[in-house]
Amino acid sequence: MTAHGARAVERCRILADVPFSETPGSLFRFWLGPAYQRTLTQVAQWMEEAGLTTRLDAAGSLIGRYEGLTPGAPALMIGSHLDTVRNGGAFDGNLGVMLGIELVSALNEEGTRLPFAIEVMGFGDEEGSRFAAPMICSRAMAGLIESVPENMTDASGVTVADAMIRYGLDPAGLSEAARRPDELIAYIEPHIEQGPAIESADGEIGVVTAIAAQTRQRVTVTGQSDHAGTTPMTMRQDALTAAAEMILAVERNGASGGATQVATVGQIDVTPNTSNVIPGEVRFSLDMRAETNEARDAMAEAIRTDLRAIADRRGLGIAFDTPQYLPAAACAPELVEGLARAVTSVTGRPAQRLLSGAGHDAMAMVDLCPMGMLFIRSPGGLSHHPDETVRVGDVDLAHRALLAFVKEFQS
């Protein structure tokens, strides 16, 4: 069994460097890019070696299928995403796909076929690292989007439709990625925790009960560009100093709700971004998450109220755009219990249950079928960072737990 966990880790590390990254020396792989295409070719090869048949769906995601006792039977889907953030880590998303492959490899080695099929899913776009709307592929599969987002471009000015055409996909056919509910029994996403809870409890793996509600916004603050040397301090309409005050207000509001809510500004653009010109416009990201939709919405409204008050006091304009609004997603109770039993069977201890503050493709898949998540310890709680890592023993336990889960699972 240990070989399966070790191989999953080794393959994640292989995918963390060129030619599977756009940037030598660090990991960056975005949906429909050259490195993404090379990654899908490699992962498809590993899937086929494990006994899966492979195909691309209409959104450019990779699907491997291991038939059950009856060909064409509904499938239990296991997987995650293959894209990464810029300068990201080797295991975020990728490990879930590798664990799905290793699960099928173990079943195939035993000659085991189940009453249902197993599909291993490699979603193409979860992070939104190329376009502003994340989870395009899983939302398309769940039938939540039927056409490509319009007026949305990447950093090079390429639209979503153009990117699909260049990859050999038909933008008009995006809706064909949608699956019927009767095709899938459930979706299980193994994933690194991306936080410190499992490690702080001296655990190895845990079971997710729900995924926190999220909202992403883009805030635009508009002032007046002017000469930095001749404009008196009392006569300035400085968009950047206002944004600095606003960002502190975001931090204050995020901290006001305790451990179950967070608010983050992670990206900022300044215009004209010149040392001797007062900034006339600032755009910054605003990421807000909380355990429930109600708590998230209350925090978001409080933040918007504070930001508007700052803009009014300084005589500036402010606008909000919301490219992402995701409700909290509860894991199916029967899947939580099944995964918990499987975790206990391999660890000998009651399964730790956790809320996921990070977003996952499972948030979209809950609209299509029951979903559950298995978390693997993140040493140091570190993720979205080049030093993100896992322990082979933990990954082996996750593999064994997934194997126990699917063998017990009744469709």
- Cβ count within 10 A of residue 110: 10
The pLDDT-based confidence of 410 (bands split at 50, 70, 90) is: confident
CATH number of the domain enclosing 170: 3.40.630.10
Q: What is the pLDDT of residue 134?
A: 85
Does the pLDDT at position 231 exceed 50? yes
Smallest Cα–Cα separation from 277: which of 321, 238, 235? 238
The pLDDT-based confidence of 183 (bands split at 50, 70, 90) is: very high
Run of H or E including 247: helix 239-255
Are 335 and 383 found together in one domain? yes
d(CA 252, CA 249): 5
Q: What pTM was computed for the model?
A: 0.85
Smallest Cα–Cα separation from 187: which of 388, 406, 408, 407? 406
Would you say 399 is a known binding-site residue?
no
Which amino acid is located at 21 in the chain?
S
Which amino acid is located at 245 in the chain?
E
Structure tokens at 252: 């204050």
Instruction: Quote the number of domains for the chain.
Output: 2
Q: Is the dihedral of CA 73, 77, 81, 82 positive or negative?
A: negative
Does the pLDDT at position 323 exceed 80? no
Are 201 and 77 found together in one domain? yes
Are 21 and 144 found together in one domain? yes
Would you say 81 is a known binding-site residue?
yes
Are 299 and 351 found together in one domain? no
Structure tokens at 311: 């803009």
- 123 and 41 Cβ atoms separated by less than 8 Å: no
Would you say 377 is a known binding-site residue?
no
pLDDT in tens, 84-124: 999 999 999 999 999 999 999 999 999 999 999 999 999 99
Structure tokens at 263: 């608010």
pLDDT (mean) for 215-240: 97
Helices marked H in 142-184 — which ranges? 160-167
Are 26 and 103 found together in one domain? yes
Smallest Cα–Cα separation from 81: which of 137, 33, 130? 137
Would you say 127 is a known binding-site residue?
yes
Are 14 and 153 found together in one domain? yes
DSSP states of 17-74 = STTSSSSTTSB---TTSHHHHHHHHHHHHHHHHHT-EEEE-TTS-EEEEE--SSTT--
Are 333 and 314 found together in one domain? no
d(CA 202, CA 216): 33
Are 223 and 184 found together in one domain? no
3-state secondary structure of 320: strand
Does the pLDDT at position 1 exceed 50? no
Does the pLDDT at position 411 exceed 70? no
Residue 296: phi and psi, rounded to 5, are -60, -45
Q: What is the pLDDT of residue 324?
A: 76
Structure tokens at 348: 């000998």
Does the pLDDT at position 2 exceed 70? no
Smallest Cα–Cα separation from 374: which of 392, 349, 400? 400
pLDDT (mean) for 257-267: 91
Tell me the residue range of the domain where 201 lies.
2-212+328-408
d(CA 129, CA 29): 8
d(CA 1, CA 396): 7
Last residue of a domain, one of 304, 326, 348: 326
Q: What is the pLDDT of residue 259?
A: 81
pLDDT (mean) for 74-80: 98
Would you say 151 is a known binding-site residue?
no
Would you say 4 is a known binding-site residue?
no
pLDDT in tens, 31-53: 999 999 999 999 999 999 999 99
Q: How does the average pLDDT of the chain come out, rounded?
A: 96
CATH number of the domain enclosing 317: 3.30.70.360
3-state secondary structure of 286: strand
Would you say 92 is a known binding-site residue?
yes
Are 25 and 129 found together in one domain? yes
What Cα–Cα distance (Å) separates residue 171 from each residue in 31, 59, 176?
14, 8, 10
Structure tokens at 410: 């009744």
Would you say 216 is a known binding-site residue?
yes
Helix and strand numbers, DSSP H then E, in the chain: 11, 16
Structure tokens at 292: 């429930």
3-state secondary structure of 201: coil
Are 88 and 236 found together in one domain? no
Are 194 and 232 found together in one domain? no
pLDDT in tens, 122-171: 999 999 999 988 899 999 999 999 899 888 999 999 999 999 999 999 99
- 404 and 340 Cβ atoms separated by less than 8 Å: no
Does the pLDDT at position 82 exceed 70? yes
- Cβ count within 10 A of residue 49: 11
Task: Tell me the percentage of the chain whose pLDDT exceeds 70.
Answer: 99
Last residue of a domain, one of 264, 296, 326: 326
Are 183 and 272 found together in one domain? no
Does the pLDDT at position 369 exceed 70? yes
Last residue of a domain, one of 326, 356, 379: 326
